[in-house]
Structure 1
């Protein structure tokens, strides 16, 4: 086997839980092959460059190393691809930025209004 469908490979490599979810994400334009948009039936081979975009994360660029028709355990699925050096550095940089970001809840000084506060606000608004 030297070629297989993109959606099957993404499912076998454990990027997506189901093949239909992989096909949906490919159709939405979140998966690129060789820098170009692809369709779920696009055939890929070894050494193809696949880019997977996920919300809130930097794009994940992987090079196809092997093909598999079955979805195996995670250690076996990790052998199907190799992440590029640029992707690794971008992912580590994003993780560092998240670690250094301020805690969003620190902006609140007093917390939620109490029942008494709500009643006072209602009186002030004339309700």
Structure 2
């Protein structure tokens, strides 16, 4: 991380911090207005960000809230990328084990027949 760099483009920072696989993908998400910087919707990937700013965006159907801790000068390994931000996303509540139904176990020998597979799919709610 370089001390000389004070600010960086938003799409480049999201790519350096490894939230998106490519800068193009990061830019597309920003252009669609799905990223907020300090609570303000941003629609330009060229928006400058600095340390201390808070970003809110969706990633993999989850809302992420991160505080920028530093500006990176390269897209390095994951531990280096994780040093660029502090994750403020509230943790998910643990799933209640009583609500999770156990998966049915096939107790026969070998593969299930087509009829048995359909019954399993119907039980799992796939059909």
1:53 and 1:14 map into 2 onto residues whose CA distance is 14
Residue 11 of structure 1 contacts residue 17 of structure 1 at CA under 8 Å; is this kept in 2?
A: yes
Q: TM-score, normalised by structure 1?
A: 0.70
Structure 1 outlier segments of 4+, above 3 Å: 97-103
Aligned equivalent of 1:54, options 38, 53, 59:
59
Structure whose residues are more often helix by fraction: 1
Tell me, in whole angstroms, the C-alpha distance in 2 between the residues paired with 1:112 and 1:83. 35
**Counterpart-to-counterpart distance in 1, 2:96 and 2:15:** 28
Alignment RMSD (CA, Å) = 3.1
Aligned residue among 7, 23, 26 for 1:22:
26
Unaligned ranges ≥5, structure 1: 114-127
For residues 43-82 of structure 1, the aligned pairs below 5 Å read 43-57=48-62, 59-82=63-86
CA distance in 1, matches of 2:126, 2:48: 54
Give the aligned length: 106
Unaligned 5+ segments in structure 2 are: 103-118
